[in-house]
Amino acid sequence: MDTNQYKEVFMSEAREHLELLNQYLLELEQDPSNKEILNQIFRSAHTLKGMSATMGYEKIATFAHEIENVLDKFRNAKLSDATLTPERIDLLFELMDTLERLIGNPDSSESIDLSGLEELKSLTEIEEDENKKTKTFKIKVKLSKECVLKLARALVVIRELEKIGFITETKPNREEIENENFDLDFEVLLKTEKDEEEIKNAIGFVPDLERIEIENAELERLEKPKKPALKSIQSVRVSVDRLDTLMDFVGELVINKIRLAQLARKYELSELKETLDSVDRITTELQDEVMQMRLVPVEHIFNRFPRMVRDLAREKGKEINFITEGKEIELDRTILDQISEPLVHLLRNCIDHGIEKPEEREKIGKARVGTIKLIAQRQENHTTIIIEDDGRGIDPEVIKKKGLEKGIISQEDAYKLNDEESMDLIFVSGFSTAEKVTETSGRGVGMDAVKASIGSLGGSIKIDSKVGVGTKITLQLPLTVAIIQCLLVALDNETYAIPISKVIRTIKIKRSEIKTIQGKEVINYRDKIIPLVYLRKILKVPKKREIDKCVVVLVEKSGKEVGLVLDAIISQEEVVIKNLDYKLLKNTKGFAGATILGDGKVVLILDLISLF
């Protein structure tokens, strides 16, 4: 069999199982006596073994089999905190890591380190509870003809059996049963410590069971069911590149659609206009569909974190309760890819600097175990990701002091900065609050890199912190990167686009309303003094003539409102972002990208974070 074309599929599925394994192990660590979790781990390892064997990856299959054996021993042992000590869970995690390495490179001939495995094997052997040897039973269940809730009854039987043992096989298989593809009979192979009588008691209460037969089936396997008829394909896996290409095409289509609409208006072709209306509707729907296709639940990256948090917390001697919420929230995969690293960095910061050591926490009257929350929320036109800890918080004064020491700000600046502005120093390159560079937080990627990568997605980052209470970091992310709403603004005959997500409101003013306070130009708007920034100066647009009227676009920057002064607002448009990732423009700051308008004109999209 040519396995190459299936390799990708295998690897992605295997990774999903690994993720599950890690997740279950974390749960098991919290609840070491829970057999059900252990069974789930066993099942995943079993599936992995099967998959690898099918693909001919003997090494992975053998290794998975060994893991299965170890797990089996745990299953047969009496589970308690003493059996599954954190050290042993560590060893199990190590096995998962080895498994991950193997899966990452299934064709490699690299030898595997089996010391952890051996250690676990020898450990568990001692503790095996000899009195409680498991046996395998074949349980045949027949439902009565009058039974109207076939599926429900069958599932209850299976659930009850799972409580007392481990189901190795069912006939028909689980999927078939769950799809109600069986008549009145089904069979279950159960590995359990219980005897026939106890099994019967366990499921005897289920109504509508006409007959229960239990046979000892120590060596028996259920007769292999016939291959089910091919099901129609419900979903396909598509490579991300193809989705990207599709997105590009949709982008082009939108641009050309706008162009056509302009032509129709210009030449007043009403028939063309009618057709265009329907093209318009279809394009919008197409755009929505493609967008939907690119959405991936944040779960994909969130699921990796519990393990990371756990390992790091142990390493740092901290106790942390890690909570994730909103895993089902979906994000464009490009965004998801790009926030993964920043999130790792932020979480590391929480563990390393945020959460105090257990003793320290107790001393100041906090719960011994610190809490880190990772929350995804969907707002109307953006997604928010919040990382919150109940650690020591960030002191703006300390930040300010550090900024002074590192020469990022002058003494004069230090007096002027308010708390929020001081906090913003964290994002200045070259700033790191760590007393010493640690492996955890001092990896060269600083908060400036985090901010830059969130910014490049058109998102923003905000820190709220209370000394002694904790820190909350909020990432605001657009729903999609490719198409955004922009305000097109004019400066003489140049046009620029401002992402609408950054705009609070626009105000028309007369020049005479601009006041000067301490040498800075401001306006008084609704009893608030708002500093002004002249886009013309920043963008070096040659000055032509002074117009009396101008427009101020209020935007938020570093938690403060700033007014951008410009000539006029042209329109609000949906634009397709094209990046300006060119070597020649590497040192040119201030633009999030460019877009092509309906008339073919290129317009630059302002990035308010790096612009001023």
CB of 51 vs other proteins, minimal distance in Å? 38
Nearer to other proteins, 251 or 391 (CB): 251
431 closest CA partner among 391, 463, 386, 474: 463
Torsion region of 292: left, alpha or beta (phi above 0 gives left; psi -120 to 50 gives alpha): alpha
The arrangement of strands across the sheet holding 591-596 comes to: 568-576, 483-491, 494-499, 602-606, 591-596
Among 584, 592, 605, 607, binds other proteins (CB under 8 A): 584
User: Which residue in 538, 547, 549, 560 binds other proteins (CB under 8 A)?
Assistant: 538
Between 425 and 533, CB nearer to other proteins: 533
Out of 222, 291, 539, 570, which residue is the one contacting other proteins (CB under 8 A)? 539
Two tokens, residue 170: 């069912």
Annotation says 68 is catalytic: yes
Six-digit token string for 267: 């030449």
CB of 534 to other proteins, least distance (A): 13
- Of 519 and 542, the one with the shorter C-beta distance to other proteins is 542
Beta bridge partners of residue 533, listed in sequence order:
564
Would residue 349 show up in a list of annotated catalytic residues for this protein? yes
Name which of residues 235 to 294 contact other proteins (CB under 8 A).
Answer: 252, 255
Which candidate in 19, 66, 68, 356 is catalytic? 68
To 5 degrees, how large is the angle CA 110–CA 116–CA 122?
Answer: 130
> Does 492 engage in binding with other proteins (CB under 8 A)?
no
Q: Is 594 in the site for other proteins (CB under 8 A)?
A: yes
Among 241, 540, 545, 546, which residue sits at the site for other proteins (rule: CB under 8 A)?
A: 540
Catalytic residue among 349, 353, 356, 388: 349
Indicate which single residue of 100, 494, 521, 556 sits in contact with other proteins (rule: CB under 8 A).
494
Q: How far apart are the first and last CA of the chain?
A: 60
Q: State the nearest-atom distance from the C-beta of 602 to other proteins, in Å.
A: 4
Cα angle 229, 230, 236 (rounded to 5 degrees) comes to 160
Contact of 301 with 336, CB cutoff 8 Å: yes
Query: Minimal distance in Å, beta carbon 600 to other proteins?
Result: 5
Q: Using CB under 8 A, which of the segments 223-231, 315-323, 523-531, 590-598 binds other proteins?
A: 590-598
Is residue 33 a contact partner of residue 80, using CB atoms and an 8 Å limit? yes
Helices (H), 213-352: 240-267, 270-293, 299-302, 305-316, 333-349
Q: d(Cα 56, Cα 16) in Å, to the nearest integer? A: 19
Least Å distance, CB 461 to other proteins, is: 24
Query: Could you say whether residue 601 binds other proteins (CB under 8 A)?
Result: yes
CB-based contacts of 165: which residues, under 8 Å, 6+ apart? 134, 190, 191, 192, 193, 194
**Catalytic status, residue 268:** no
Catalytic residue (choose from 46, 76, 187, 330): 46
* Largest separation between any pair of C-alpha atoms in the chain: 97
State in angstroms the smallest separation of the CB of 586 from other proteins.
6
Q: How far is CA 397 from CA 19, 407, 423, 426, 466, in A?
A: 42, 15, 9, 12, 12
| The one among 347, 523, 591, 609 contacting other proteins by CB under 8 A | 591
User: Closest approach of Cβ 584 to other proteins, in Å?
Assistant: 5
Residue 106 or 590 having the CB closest to other proteins = 590
> Cis (ω within 30 of 0) for the bond into 32?
no
Answer for which of 92, 596, 605, 609 binds other proteins (CB under 8 A) is 596
Which one, 431 or 612, has the nearer CB to other proteins?
612
Contact residues for other proteins, defined by CB under 8 A:
252, 255, 494, 538-541, 578, 580, 582-591, 594, 596, 600-604
Annotated catalytic residues are 46, 68, 349
